[in-house]
Structure 1
Amino acid sequence: MTSAGVGALLRTWRERRGISQLELAGRAGSSSRHISFVENGRSRPSEEMVLRLAEHLGVPVRERNVLLVAAGFAPRYACTPLDAPELGVLREGLERLLSAYEPYPALVVDATYQVVAANRGITMLLGGVAEHLLEPPLNAMRLTLHPEGLAPRIRNLREWRGHLLAQMERQIAPARSEALRALYEEVSAYPVVERGGPGGAGPAEETAYVALPLLIEHEGHVLSFVSTISTFNTPMDVTVAELAVETLLPADPATAKYLRSMAP
């Protein structure tokens, strides 16, 4: 691929971020004229310039390799399998993190929401999920939104489903991942199971939530959680860059008390 190829990719990223050529040039210590020449293929950027522009445009690590190859350079970032010995310390650290968060639920997912690790808080919530959804590799989106998964027990399914689908939509374009797009098309087509019976709209008591909660039933109790997602700072490996730790924090005292009572 020629410099025109990398220029078009950089222009796409710049426009996606809503940044002008002048603004990008100021951030990258260049000139708007040079940025224009790079984007239209009249100037071939150096490897350093490609990486600098990618940094200021917030380009994911995997896509930075794509930019480098398009500009005629070798990929910079490795893609080490998670089970490789080189990532042993990382795996151990994640396991300790998940265990320390118990009895609250926490899990680690990759770029396509495959569950690579989870704690006992997550396992507790999965009771009653269809066996075929629990066969490896587990997928967090399928487990949550499938009619035979957690969906029938989620009190605010429409809102939570909308939040998850919007999250996936934001990831699809930058990632250019066919696997992620296929997953989105699959889970967005699942029927929305309407809950019947009294109290279907949510918990009996009104709670002032600080963020959109996940309201889910468990053995006759309605548990409420707010979700946080953590990623690694300045990753130098594609696999590590695409890992996300999701923790479910109790959103009310009753949920916290219930989870502590369930702890072994």
Structure 2
Amino acid sequence: MEVAETAPVGALLREWRNRRRLSQLELSLRAEVSARHLSFVETGRSRPGREMILRLGECLDVPLRERNRLLLAAGYAPAYAERTLDDADMGPVREVVRRLLAGHDPYPAVVIDRDWTLVDANAGAALLLEGVAPDLLAPPVNVLRVGLHPRGMAPAIANLGQWRAHLLHRLRLQVDWTGDADLAALYRELVGYPGGDPGEPSGTPPIAVPLRLHRDGTELSFLSTVATFGTPLDVTVSELAIESFFPADAATARLLGAGRPAE
């Protein structure tokens, strides 16, 4: 992992502290260091040790990739490996993903990385991609672009305004939390896509935002869940997410041939 140019580690730590909206005193109490020492670290008057950086990174909930960058900025080696999914050591991770995807059929499920790039999908995910322009499905596939692009899923989404607002909100929170410039650029791109007004809910308020999809003259309705690995120590694993779509009504469950959803 190489970084050509980077800010001093103290400035980076101050940026993360400000992003988390913590005062120096609040962070010093969490990390069990003096506020004076933390001030010296942030201003560059004191060089933090490796353990200090890791402790502050944990207290600030800095993503593992960015914790490595903090270490590099201070002249230390990265603490967290970044293996590919094809790596031999990633066998247990591949098995977990495979079981989750296969077990969710016939309902759609996809695996994405931190950039919303499609990593894997089950057979049921093909239902979501019907009618999407081939160029949008050429690797690397960005699932948000596929979902909201006028030549992607957007024309088939019955509640496009509502679903678009939901996805943009998720991405905006991710940008705010990570400070990732690439995600910020993706957000600016997606905001420019047409999508309509989310509108005001009518009738009984929904329990969650559904994905309502026109397919073969009928409407399918899904609720989604997102699963991540709970205790990652590898950068790649920490950035994986599995989004699973479940029938939001009995009609969708019947149409997909799996009976009525659990109540």
Q: Whole-Å Cα distance in 1 between the matches of residues 179 and 31 of structure 2?
A: 25
**Structure 1 residue 140 displacement after superposition:** 0.6
**How far is 1:122 from its partner?**
1.1
2:245 maps to 1:242: no
- Confirm whether residue 122 of structure 1 aligns to residue 125 of structure 2: yes
In 2, Cα distance between equivalents of 1:54 and 1:181: 22
Shift of the alpha carbon at 1:115? 0.8
Normalised by the length of structure 1, the TM-score is 0.86
Task: Count the aligned residue pairs.
Answer: 253
> Is residue 2:55 matched to residue 1:52?
yes
Structure 2 counterpart of 1:232:
229
Q: Which runs of 4+ in 1 moved over 6 A?
A: none
Q: Is the 8 A contact 1:7 1:41 kept in 2?
A: yes
Q: 1:257 deviation in Å?
A: 2.3
| Shift, 1:172, TM fit | 2.8
Which residue of 123, 145, 148 maps to 1:145? Answer: 148
The CA distance in 2 between the partners of 1:87 and 1:72, in whole Å, is: 28
Task: For residue 224 of structure 1, report the CA deviation from its aligned partner.
Answer: 1.8
* 1:256 aligned to which of 253, 256, 259: 253
Query: What is the match of residue 83 of structure 2?
Result: 80
The match for 1:218 among 204, 215, 235 is: 215
Seen in structure 2, the aligned counterparts of structure 1 residues 246 and 48 have a Cα distance that, compared at 3 Å, is: same
Secondary structure at the counterpart of residue 147 of structure 1: coil
How far the C-alpha of 1:119 sits from its partner, in A, is: 1.1
Residue identity opposite 1:9 in structure 2:
L
Alignment of 1:1-264 (within 5 A): 5-192=8-195, 208-260=205-257
Residues in 2 aligned to 1:41 and 1:149: alpha-carbon distance in whole angstroms: 49
Tell me, in whole angstroms, the C-alpha distance in 2 between the residues paired with 1:176 and 1:17. Answer: 11
Quote the RMSD (CA, aligned, Å): 2.5
Q: Per the alignment, in what secondary structure is the counterpart of residue 256 of structure 2?
A: helix
**Aligned-pair CA distance for 1:49:** 0.8
Q: 1:208 Cα shift?
A: 4.5
Give the letter aligned to residue 66 of structure 1: R
Please report the TM-score for the alignment, with normalisation by the length of structure 2: 0.87
**Which structure 2 segments of 5+ residues have no match?**
none
Please say if residues 126 and 150 of structure 1, whose CA atoms lie closer than 8 Å, have aligned partners that are also in contact: yes
Structure 1: how far apart are the matches of 2:15 and 2:257?
A: 49
Is contact 2:161-2:196 (8 Å) kept?
Answer: no
Deviation at 1:206, TM superposition (A): 5.5
Deviations 1:94-113 (A, max 9, x none): 01111101122111001111
Once the two structures are aligned, what percentage of the paired residues are identical? Answer: 52
Alpha-carbon distance between aligned partners in 2 of 1:36 and 1:225, rounded to the nearest angstrom: 49
Q: CA deviation at 1:132?
A: 1.9
- Extract unaligned runs of 5+ from structure 1: 195-200
Once the two structures are overlaid, the 10-residue window that deviates more, 222-231 or 91-100, is: 222-231
Contact 1:21–1:32 (CA under 8 A) maintained in structure 2: yes
